[in-house]
Amino acid sequence: MNAKLNLILAQAENRYLTASEIQQLRQTLTHWRLRLEIYERLRERELGLWEIVARQIHTRFANIDPDQRDQALALSQLLLHILGKVMLFDYPQNLAEQEFSWILARVRVYQLDSLVGSVMTAVHGQLGMVLGTQGLATLEPYFQQITGVMNQAPALMGLAA
């Protein structure tokens, strides 16, 4: 659950919420509703996004092993699912605590470090079209966080950048 919401409820455990706390709660729930709408839009339009990203990856990396290309697409799908969850619950620590190791494991096992930037660029390019300006703006901080993780992946794995 959202840390801000938890804090408000914990502070008012033995009493009614104050007017200020009710306002904070309303604001938090409004933001949560917006994130849920963005998450639903992402889920509903995912297939169209992947069709476009897959074409871009297959065209741009025609000379790369097809299995590696498929793994790059699987990575981008994993990243998008992680982004959706982290954004929905506004819980960026989830990325560091759980999914970070999954991402690095996939990059390491399938030697995708050279493809990561291109996959992220392709996904990001389609997110604006799928989510619109407001949806992309809401997702952007989480996208930047995961991009930072992916940019550090080669160094964290002991690979040359």
Residue 2 CA to residue 142 CA, distance in Å, equals 15
Q: Which of 131, 120, 112 is nearest to 71 (CA)?
A: 112
Residue 160 reports pLDDT greater than 50 = no
Give backbone dihedrals phi and psi of 55, rounded to 5 degrees, phi first.
Answer: -60, -45
Query: At 95, is the pLDDT very low, low, confident or very high (cuts 50, 70, 90)?
Result: low
Share of the chain above pLDDT 90, in %: 25
pLDDT value of position 161:
42
Q: What is the mean pLDDT of residues 13-26?
A: 92
Domains of the chain: 36-156 (1.10.490.20)
- Which residue, chain included where needed, has tokens 């560091």? 96
- Give the model confidence (pLDDT) of 62-82 as tens digits: 998 898 888 888 888 888 888
| pLDDT value at residue 15 | 93
Average confidence score pLDDT of the chain: 82
**What global pTM score does this model have?**
0.78
Convert the pLDDT of each residue in 144-157 to its tens digit: 887 777 766 556 55
